[in-house]
Structure 1
Amino acid sequence: MHLLKNCKIVLLILFISLSALSLNAQTVAQCDSLLKVGQQATRDKDYVKSLEVLATARSMAEKNRWKKQLFHAINYTGHNYIAMMDYGEALNYCLEAYNLAVKELDPEFEMIALNNIAILYTADKNYEKARDYYRKVYDAAKQGKFKSLGIYLINLANVENILENPVQARNYITEAMPNLKQYWPRSVVAAEMILAEADLLEGKTAVAREEALQLLKNTKDVAYNDIAIPLNEIIVKSYFKEGHYDVAAQNALGILNKKPDLETRKRTFELLAEIYGKSNDFRNAVKFKDSVLSATEELNEVKNGRLFENSRVKFEMQEYKNQLALNQEKEVITRRIIYSLLAFFIIALTATVFILRQKKLIAERNQRITALELEKEKNDNLLLEKQFRENETNALLEQERLKNEIETRNRKLSAKALYLSDRNQLIEDILVSLSKKTKLSKDTSLANQIKTLKSQLRIDNEWDDFITHFEELNQGFLNRLKTLHPTLTANDIRFVAYIYMNLSVKEISSILNITIEACRKRKERIAHKMELPVNVNIFDYISAL
């Protein structure tokens, strides 16, 4: 069963490869010929034929990687959908052509694609968006100094007139004229028509009308640019703005006699309704307003019919593509049936052996990978466990070291405190001894020395240094004590610090130069101030802070 499935896959691959070989025998000239036929069919409004031919050209270009031909096939397909008023589908093809141009082709193709997108937005009456794309095309053409600059400037000037920016339109045409005269002489008449429209918008009605009349005499170029009706519209609007309503109406009716398309008829009906309204001919004004409504309904019906027609065209196109693919497949099968069968058996056998071998190799490799992953995971766990134990040991050692260091420094502080106590006691003893000798009290020099000794008993700088060192050694203790017991004075805090250092009452009394009994009472008073229970020892309490 699996072998049969593999054989079908192999056969399909072979058919595709042989089809590609067949297409490679085709030439670029054949593809270009199809593109020309597709363009002509679009002009003839035979959209189904055009799309079928362009689909064939696109298939050839894709298979042979002919980027330029592929671009034109996609681009002309977009033109068909613009003509069929299917602007959403048209935009998809325009964007596809643009992306292809950006990635694979020269900047000139990118400009063509952007210009077509702008034309699409113009057809959809999204003039602001159209202007944005025309400007992009203009900037690229100007930077690259392309011959097509004049054509792009005509498009840009035209949309500026539509947006009622005649000054800007005139500037664009002035810039375009040298290029048009050199490379596109037959398009000069279109540029001059835009200048006439600009004059009309600026209120120069007589000038605009005279320019339009002169241009209509150049029948050949006017027909080439398909601008006869726009020129007649300029003439009608010029008479209307001047208040010559009869002449304006007569020329407008002349446009209708030329049997223009539905959009033009609608515009002309609107213009006639406005003309007759201004001339107070309300009967004709109402008549042509009704004509506007009828034209609008007819236009909507046409658009709805176009939607149906577009759907039908798409359906027929898909049928054509399917039939084209089927015919190609049959042709390939007919010409290469024998080689395909032989290749089928060889490739199927080779593929089967290769797949079985690959499965075995993959299974062995996966087994080795699994074993290595398990071993790695085991080693990682052992390493993590070892690191954890080492970190725990280091933490205990560091804790013990810090504890010993604190005890050592506290002993040094105690020794310093006791030294200060002994010094004070010695000074006190000397003062008592000297005070008993009355003869010596009359000695002025000796009296000064005694005064100096007494001042030593009142100096607190060394005690301040002691407290500073105590705070560095026992960080946070004094702050916590002050927070919990804000009523304690500075002397109370110093007394508590001595207790925290585990000094005896005798040692503290010696340091503070008070009696032992006074020291005990002070200790009891501080405990009471701290509101400690009777059964709680003050040293045990502060040691836990």
Structure 2
Amino acid sequence: MKHSIIILLISLFLSFVAVAQEEYSTPQLPDSLVERLKENRGTDLNRAMALDDVIMFYFDDHRIVDATSFINELGDVANSIHDNYWIAKSHYYKALCVYYTYNAEFLAHANKALRIAETLRKNEASQLLLARIYLARSAYFFDNNLFPECQESINNGLKIAEKNGFHSLKHLFLGNLGAMLEHLEKYEDAIDIFKENLKNKFNLSALPNIAASYRELHQYDSAVFYVDSVISYVTKMEKMNGNDGYQLIRAYQIKALVFIDLNLWDQAIKSLDASKYYTAQYGDKSLFSRELLLRADALNGLGKYEQALKTIDNAIDIANTSNLINIEWMAVKLKSDILDNMKAYKREVETLRYFITLTDTLNNRENVEKVQIQKFQQETMAMEQQYELQQAAMRQRHRLIWLSFAFLFVVGALLTVIFMLNRKRKLETIAAVLDTRNREVTSKTLEQMHLNQVLQEVVTKLTYFANNPKGNNNAVDITIRDLKGLIDNGSAKDFDYFFTQVHPDFYKKLQADFPDLTPNDLRLCAYIKSNLNVKEVAELTGVSADSVKTARSRLRKKLCITDPYASLSKFLGKY
């Protein structure tokens, strides 16, 4: 039973009509297309048409991902020229691009393209685009087991294709319909669809699908006939493209499935060996992991359990790193069968736990996808409100613009006020400095006037003494003493003035702590704080150095400094 479930799941994967991701080689863009891009560099309709041709070249060559940058540019150009046809087409291309890179954003782009395309004026181009969108949606819904939605997309697409004579698209829709019927186990109906499709136009992908359906009906001779037809047809080609290689690999794998069903394990491995070269060249992780899965199944049938286990572990690793959770699920299921045959029950239990985890993950993913479908259906129903919403958004933008202007005006006014306040502060600072300089000049002027007055008196006295030399010795001594006092007093005043400019609160703080200090004591403290030594203080005050030392000793007592080694300068540095 376990074996038959694995075979059924593998065959269902092989039955879907897929488009190859890339070819064996990656040819450069043709010179004609390169030249078109160079000639049309602007953001206009000609550029959009040139980009469309480049994208179609990559799509025809099955190099979807290589077209990504051109698709993004087409979207930018379409938005710039406000052309809904090209906007819809760019979203259609983006949907295809993310579809082949297993990105969940497919439905968002596909639905957006559909909503816009349905509003376009009906002509051949718009109807062709609409049919292609339905084709892409049908493939997506098929992959996600959403068969009612898949059937609806196929029916809508077939109507458009038949009405407008899009024969190639009609064959593709019928191919998807056959694949869906096969997945629903309606194999005879699927075979009829595939064969009917072949009558109208040869389609290589239909042959492996017919073979897969015959295999499910256990009509193995018919199944082998169709896969051998594919193998014979493709291997005789001088040059095969990506889709030809893909169908050849599918044919070999379906043939291996037939041999596994018939317990012809060696024949199954030979069939897989024949496709091994093409699978490696094709580089598709999905096909490669499936090939390993089938090989492990055949080795399990031969009883080569260790070799089968090694092969299936390789398949699990590739599926896991490539985010191929369905194949990983099948591989883990087969691994549990192999371990069961080996009677390695402990390892089988661990594998079954992993299998349950993968099953939960698959179920959660399906639930998320169903929620996304419902979400986008609701968005489609809300299309009638889109215009009103756009108008409301436009009004809101206008309000925001006016609010932005008002905000900028307020900010500008605030910046102006701040600038004016800063300027006022600077002017006040300059005025204060000027006032200080003015007071300094005034003080110096008054001192100079006083000095001139005293000197004038001295000159008068000396002139009198010169005219009356007798009996004036004492007067000369008095005059000399007055001059010395004038010098000392001027030096002290100058020092006090400049010292208080640097240390404005020094005298105030010191006298607050030591109220018994005399003016001379305070001035001596200022000299010491200014780092003047004994000799310099003596010269400045006009007394001897010993007198200065004596004054310093008395000052230490008044400042209550008992430690003879304590620095008087360091003590005064606190003030």
TM-score (norm 1): 0.48
**Structure ranking higher in helix proportion:** 1
Q: Which of the two has higher C-alpha Rg?
A: 1
TM-score (norm 2): 0.46
